[in-house]
Structure 1
Amino acid sequence: MDGFVADYISYLRIERAMSPNTVSSYSSDVEKFFLAVGKAPSAVTTDDLRDYVSSRRDLSKRSLARTLSSLRSFFDYLVMEGERKDNPCDAVDLPKLGRYLPSVLSVGEVEAILDSVDLTSWQGRRDKAILEVLYGCGLRVSEAVSLRISCLFLDEGFVRVVGKGDKERLVPIGEAAVDAVRDYLGQRPSAAVSEYDDILFLSRLGKPLSRVSMFNIVKRQAILAGIHKEISPHTFRHSFATHLIENGADLRVVQEMLGHENILTTEIYTHVDRSTWQAAVLDHHPRKRG
């Protein structure tokens, strides 16, 4: 089984060109399944999959759906390689998912978190820059931790972001974020090795911050600001998009800034108060009175 999984991981990395995080998630799901069922890939049945799904009461519907997607991909790979004639996942129904709307911060809550940062140390200036960039540019946490100094065009007011699938996009950066980044750059520590010289956000050891470290920074500042919602870097990305829409930004502009291939993803991602949409429609309709 280990050989099949190793070959599958290579297939995802090389032929499918998936990101390291996606490859890690897929391989983890597959490995956990086979550890639980204790069967060779060729012997797995649809009933095995259904029993496994029923046993994973610790997972949310969304996590179960992702697990089944990972397994379906793995067995599709085996069929493609001639190791199986069928995909046992085909007869397993995916959990029905409701509309996913992650929590969003109000403008006041964002400002409270930003104001809670202690700027007396270089770490505080770094954390302020991280928060301003997350909210000001709507970056994914993976994009923020890998952001390079050479991709900053602060005088011109934009940053070049490398997103999913190594796709690049240009994102405007506001004055508050520019000021915070410049303030941090003035005290940024030296990189531990030359290969990290261009990485913007460094740890106290001069190495790139990890995703977990950035999560912890965000959560710590939310606690200090007295915000009791479930907060993550993704919350800032969602708040960024929501506030843009609420203030009249075009949905397709937001789509481009977020790096979404499909605008339907943006429509789900950026929930807006019904009254905001109603006012926008009524104010701009050609049959508006007066």
Structure 2
Amino acid sequence: MTGHTVSTDSAAEHVTRYLDHLTVERGAAANTVSSYRRDLGRYADYLGARGIDSLAEVTENDVREFLVQLRRGDPDTGSAPLADSSIARTLVAVRGFHKFAAAEGVVEADVAHAVRPPRPARRLPKSLPVDEVLAILESAGAPDHPRALRDRALLELLYSCGARISEATALDVDDIDATTRAVRLCGKGGKERVVPVGGPAIDALEAYLVRGRPALASRANPALFLNARGGRLSRQSAWQVLADAAARAGLDKAVSPHTLRHSFATHLLDGGADVRVVQELLGHASVTTTQVYTLVTVNTMREVYATAHPRAR
């Protein structure tokens, strides 16, 4: 079909023609056609519910509103919200459908060509309140056991300087400077940074180096944190150290080494630290990466304001 003759057929009828086109002319796989049928069937139902009988009536805003509905779900039909990946897949089908309709002269313009998938919701890092972090640190194990001394030193260090778990397990003994209370970390891309370490972490490290590490060091090894065989502690084992401590502390939530890193950043910002200082401490290449933590503190401020200010409501 050529020219600009506008069809009065329903959207559902045009969907059927498009699926036939995919099957016969494009040779699309059966799974692909089935997926398109499901997505475009949902789209045709949406248009019908809005009282849009002809494809010529559809606007770019209608397409955008369809994506919004997919994200929030539809209580009237019992449709659950779709994941961002599913929404993006559906948009591919809808855009292909509208492109086909315009090319066939069914409509005068492709109203979906400029529509992009909605931005994924920004996930806020999960951090722990200070008292829960302290409970984890106190639950590292018996203070006189070599591995318990190691575990306490490891967890204190992770929280004290916001190190990634890979950075902590890569540390050598010489990377710790107890005199200046600093640690040299090797981050992503081999970029080094020197980060201050708090007093409790330094005390835990010195206790481990004096009373714990010698009992674990069965052979010469520069690594700071050693396993029971005298080798470098692995990331997986370090992760388990934290999981065990969190369980002993009675926390009924998933806690990872990154949780301590997130808590480090959030607690600094809550205490008034500048975001660019936190950026340097975390080893982020861009302050934009660090600014996600400011969203956490803004949410905290809102909660405090809502409960504490007499005129907040």
Q: TM-score range by the shorter chain?
A: 0.5 to 0.7
Relative to structure 1, the CA distance from residue 208 to residue 226 in structure 2 (aligned partners, 3 Å threshold; closer, same or farther) is same
* Alignment match, 1:105: 128
Distance 1:94 1:183 in 2: 54
Q: Equivalent residue for 1:137?
A: 161
The counterpart of 1:201, out of the listed 212, 221, 225, is 225
SS in 2 for 1:126: helix
Aligned partners of 1:211 and 1:182: how far apart in 2?
22
Question: What pairs with 1:171-190 in structure 2 (closer than 5 Å)?
Answer: 171-186=195-210, 187-188=212-213, 189-190=215-216
- Provide the rounded CA distance (Å) in 2 between the counterparts of 1:209 and 1:269: 29
Q: For the Cα contact (< 8 Å) 1:103–1:229, is it kept in 2?
A: no
How far apart are residue 273 of structure 1 and its match?
3.8
- TM-superposed CA distance for 1:117, in Å, is 2.2
Corresponding residue of 1:254: 278
Hey, what's the Cα distance between the residues in 2 that align with 1:277 and 1:244? 18
SS in 1 for 2:297: coil
Q: 5+ residue gaps in structure 2? A: 1-27, 36-82, 89-115, 305-313
CA displacement, residues 53-107 of structure 1 (integer Å, 9 cap, x when unaligned): x8xxxxx869xx9xxxxxxxxxxxxxxxxxxxxxxxxxxx888422122321100
Alignment-mate amino acid for residue 169 of structure 2:
V
Are 2:126 and 1:115 equivalent residues in the alignment? no
- TM value normalised by structure 2: 0.57
CA, structure 1 residues 226+97, in 2 after alignment: closer, same or farther (shift >3 Å)? same
275 and 102 in structure 1: CA distance in 2 versus 1, 3 angstrom threshold = closer
In the TM superposition, what whole-angstrom CA distance separates every residue of 1:145-164 from its partner, at most 9, and x where no partner exists?
A: 00111111111111111100
> Matched residue of 2:194: which SS?
strand
* TM-score, with structure 1 as normaliser: 0.61
Distance 2:299 2:126 in 1: 17
Which is higher, the Rg of structure 1 or of structure 2? 2
Taking a change above 3 Å as real, the CA distance of residues 96 and 149 of structure 1, as seen in their structure-2 partners, is same
Q: Which stretches of structure 1, 4 residues or more, deviate above 2 A after TM superposition?
A: 93-97, 189-194, 273-279
Q: What are the equivalent positions in structure 2 for 1:232-271 lying under 5 Å apart?
A: 232-270=256-294, 271=296
User: Displacement, 1:276?
Assistant: 3.9
Query: Structure 1 residues 131, 190: CA separation in 2 closer, same or farther (over 3 Å shift)?
Result: closer
Q: CA separation of 1:223/1:61 partners in 2, compared to 1, >3 Å: closer, same or farther?
A: farther
Give the alignment partner of residue 169 of structure 1, picking from 185, 188, 193: 193
CA shift, 1:116, in A, is: 1.4
Amino acid at match of 2:208: Y
The question of whether the paired residues in 2 share the 8 Å contact of 1:246 and 1:276 is answered with: no
Unpaired runs of at least 5, structure 1: 1-46, 55-59, 66-92, 280-290
CA contact (8 A) 2:139 2:245 kept: yes
Deviations 1:165-203 (A, max 9, x none): 000001000100000000000120354543xx2210000
For 1:130 and 1:182, the matched residues in 2 are separated by 12
Deviation string 1:194-233 (CA, Å, 9 cap, x unpaired) is 3xx2210000000111111111110110010011121000
**What is residue 272 of structure 1 aligned with on the other side?**
297
Between stretches 239-248 and 98-107, larger displacement belongs to 98-107
| Contact persistence 1:129–1:180 (CA under 8 A) | yes
- Partners in 2 of 1:145 and 1:155 — Cα distance? 21
